[in-house]
Amino acid sequence: MSFFTDLARQYIDGEWRGGSGSWDNIDVNPYNGEKLASITTATVEEVDLAYRAAERAQQAWGATNPYTRRLVFEHALLVVEEHEQEITEALVAELGSTRLNAAYEVHLVKEFLREAVHLPMRAEGRLITSPVDGKENRVYRVPVGVVGVITPFNFPFLLAVRSVAPALSLGNAVVLKPHEEAPICGGALVAKLFEDAGLPSGLLNVVITDIAEIGDAMIDHPVPKVISFSGSDAVGRHVARVCGGHFKHAILELSGNSALTVLDDADIDYAVDAAVFSRYVHQGQVCMAANRILVDRAVEQEFTEKFTAKVAALKTGDPSDPETVIGPVINSAQADAITAVVAQSLAEGGTALVAGRAEGNLVEPTVLTGLPPDSPVLRQEIFGPVALLIPFDGEDEAVRIVNDSPYGLSGAVHTADVERGVRFARRIDTGMIHVNDSTVHDEPAVSFGGEKRSGLGRLNGEHMVDAFTTQKWISVQHGRRTFPF
C-alpha cells in the first residue's frame, strides 16, 4: 500500500471519500519538496457529517462490553507491528523525521496502544455511603460521548493515537483533525489503523481541512463534549475561550520553554549527552525540548567545550540517511522564524558558539550564549535547533532563572545527589521534570501536562479516565423514606 496515494482522502462514517472544499491541501516532503499527496479540504458540512456519524455510532459502542472493546486495540497493535517499516518511511517522508526519530515515535505509539488495551477496565464506579437511612449511592463512570481531537505536525502519529486510542477504548467516538502539514501520518493513517483493527464504522472520523475553510467548526460544533488540542499556546488560548463559551471540557497540551539544569556536581559527559538530545531531537520541534541549558559556573567551561563539540559534529541533511541527526524543519516559514530568532539574539549581544547555516528547510544546529537577562528570546518557545546556554551561580539563582518563563511544561536537572535533584525539581514551576535524564520523556501510564501557558489538564494513565469519561450519580432508596411534608 502507498499511504500517500491510497489514503489521501477524508474518512467519514466508515467511508473514504473526497472533500468538497474550495482548494486542495498539498502534502509535500519538507526535505526535497516532492509532492506526496493532494487532498481536497473538508468543509463545515463535512465536519458536521463526521460529528453526526460519531454521535450515531457512539451509543452502541459505549454499551459494548469493555472486554470486547479492548480487542480492537490488541489488533491495532498487531497492525502497527506488521506495517512498522512502512509507517517509519512515511514519517520520514512527510515530516522530515530522521529514521531514529521516526522509530522512536512508532515505539511510543505501540506503548500507548498497549495501555489502551487495559483502559476499558479502569472506568470503575464507586459505592458511597449516605446519611439517609436505606439509601445506596452509586457513582458510575460513563463515556463523555464524542471527542474532538486536533493535533500538530510534530510527532503527529503519536499525538493522534495518544488521545484517539484512550477516548475510543473508554467508549467514546472521535472526530480527528490532523495538522495540514501532516494529513497522512497524523490523520488518514490513524483511520486506516483502526479500520484494519476492526473498529466499527462511524466511531473514528478524520477530516483533513484548515481553519481558513471551517473556522471554529471543530470546536464549537454542538456534538463533541471534550476537545483535546495539542499545539501552540496562542491557538490553545482561543480553543479554551470557545470551549468555555460552549461549556465543553478542553484538554490543552501547549507550548514549552523547558530548561535542563546542570548543577556543580553533575556527571558532565552524561549531562552533555542528555542536553544534546533534549535540545536537538526532531530538529528541536518538540514542545518538551530544552530551549535553555543552565550550567553552574563551576563547571561551565568544561560543559560548554564538550557540549559545543558534540553539537558541531551533528550531521544535518537527508532524513532518510541513517547517519543524519538533524533533518529539515517542517516548512520555510519555520526555517525563517528560527533564523530570525538567531539574528535577534545576536543583535541583542548574544554570541554564537556554534553558528549553524540555513539552506531551504535544513537548519543546522546553533548554540548561543551571553543573551541579556531581559531578552524576550529567553522566555519564548524556539521550535528549532537552537540552544541557549545560561550560566548561574548556585541553586537559588538557577531556580529563579528557570521559573522566569510564562511556560511550565517539562524540565531536567543533573546532579550526583539524587535527593538534591528532587529538592531542586520540587522548586520548579512545571508539570514534569526529570532528575538525571532528558527533558523529552513520555510514558503512557504517567501524568503528562504543563503549568502556566503550557496547558490545561493531564493525559496518560488514570488521567485518561478523567479526561474521557464523566461521573454519574444514581441513588437507590431501599424501603420507604420519610419526607418533611
CATH number (domain holding residue 205): 3.40.605.10
Evaluate if residue 343 carries a pLDDT over 70: yes
Query: 43 with 76, same domain?
Result: yes
For the stretch 236-275, pLDDT in tens is 999 999 999 999 999 999 999 999 999 999 999 999 999 9
Q: What is the per-residue pLDDT for 275?
A: 98
372 confidence band (pLDDT: 50, 70, 90): very high
Residues 310 and 286 in one domain: yes
What amino acid occupies position 44?
V
Single out the residue of 113, 142, 146 nearest to residue 47, CA to CA.
146
**Judgement on whether residues 325 and 179 belong to the same structural domain of the protein:** no
CA-angle at 444, arms to 441 and 448, nearest 5°: 60
Identify whether 64 is part of a domain: yes
The reply to whether 479 falls in a domain is no
pLDDT at 59: 97
Indicate the angle between helix axes 66-82 and 84-95, nearest 10 degrees: 70
Instruction: Reply yes or no on whether the pLDDT at 309 is more than 90.
Output: yes
137-158 average pLDDT score: 97
If asked whether residues 137 and 214 sit together in one domain, one would say: yes
Looking at the structure, do residues 213 and 267 belong to the same domain, yes or no?
no
Which residue is it, cell 461521573? 471
pLDDT for the residue numbered 99: 96
pLDDT tops 70 at residue 308: yes
Distance (Å, whole) CA 331 – CA 327: 12
Do 349 and 263 share a structural domain?
yes
Query: Per-residue pLDDT averaged across 387-401, rounded?
Result: 98
Q: Is residue 357 part of a domain?
A: yes
* 443 located within any domain: no
Are 247 and 283 members of one domain? no
Q: How confident is the model at residue 144 (pLDDT cuts 50, 70, 90)?
A: very high
Residues 412 and 437: beta-carbon distance below 8 Å: yes
Whether residues 233 and 302 share a domain: the answer is: no
What's the average model confidence in pLDDT over 48-75? 97
Catalytic residue chosen out of the listed positions 287, 300, 364, 381: 287
Clarify whether residues 83 and 36 are in a common domain. Answer: yes
Can you tell me the distance from the alpha carbon of 5 to that of 27, in angstroms, rounded to the nearest whole number? 11
Nearest one of 375, 443, 378, 440 to 412, comparing CA atoms: 440
pLDDT of res. 477: 97
Closest listed residue to residue 27, CA positions, set 12, 43, 11, 41: 41
**What is the Cβ-side half-sphere exposure of residue 307, based on CA atoms within 13 angstroms?**
34
253 catalytic, yes or no? yes
Q: How many domains does the chain have?
A: 2
Query: Is residue 185 among the annotated active site residues?
Result: no
pLDDT in tens, 164-182: 999 999 999 999 999 999 9
282 shares its domain with 227:
no
On whether the CB atoms of residues 221 and 209 are closer than 8 A, the answer is no
Domain that holds residue 329: 258-435
Query: In the 3-class helix/strand/coil scheme, how is the chain assigned residue by residue?
Result: CCHHHHCCCEEECCEEECCCCCCEEEEECCCCCCEEEEEECCCHHHHHHHHHHHHHHHHHHHCCCHHHHHHHHHHHHHHHHHCHHHHHHHHHHHHCCCHHHHHHHHHHHHHHHHHHHHHHHHCCCEEECCCCCCEEEEEEEEECCEEEEECCCCCHHHHHHHHHHHHHHCCCEEEEECCCCCCHHHHHHHHHHHHHCCCCCCCEEECCCCHHHHCCHHHHCCCCCEEEEECCHHHHHHHHHHHHHCCCEEEEECCCCEEEEECCCCCHHHHHHHHHHHHHHHHHCCCCCEEEEEEECCCHHHHHHHHHHHHHCCCECCCCCCCCCECCCCCHHHHHHHHHHHHHHHHCCCEEEECCCEECCEECCEEEECCCCCCHHHHCCCCCCEEEEEEECHHHHHHHHHHCCCEECCEEEECCCHHHHHHHHHCCCCCCCEECCCCCCCCCCCCECCEECCEECCECCHHHHHHHEEEEEEEEECCCCCCCC
CA angle 468, 237, 39 (to 5 degrees): 75
Let me know if residue 444 belongs to a domain.
Answer: no
Q: State yes or no: pLDDT of 1 exceeds 90.
A: no
Give the whole-number percent of the chain exceeding pLDDT 70: 100
CA–CA gap between residue 144 and residue 135 (Å, rounded): 27
Q: Which amino acid is located at 137 in the chain? A: N
pLDDT confidence band for 2 (50 / 70 / 90): confident
Give yes or no: residues 207 and 183 share one domain: yes
Cα 205 to the center of its chain, rounded Å: 20
Give yes or no for a contact between 439 and 381, defined as CB atoms under 8 angstroms apart: no
Any domain includes 485: no
Cα(39)–Cα(459) distance, rounded to whole angstroms?
A: 31
Mean pLDDT over the full length of the chain: 97
Q: What CATH number did the domain enclosing 390 receive?
A: 3.40.309.10
Q: Which of 105, 181, 253, 381 is catalytic?
A: 253
Note whether 242 and 262 are same-domain residues. no
Bridge partners (DSSP) of residue 358 are 363
The answer to whether position 315 is within a domain reads yes
Indicate whether 446 belongs to any domain: no
Mean pLDDT score, 151-170: 97
- pLDDT at 83 exceeding the cut of 90: yes
Q: Model confidence over 469-479: pLDDT tens digits?
A: 999 999 999 99
- Which pTM was predicted? 0.96
Contact criterion met (CB below 8 Å) for 260 and 440: no
- 48: exposed, middle or buried (Cβ count in 10 Å: 0-12, 13-18, 19+): middle
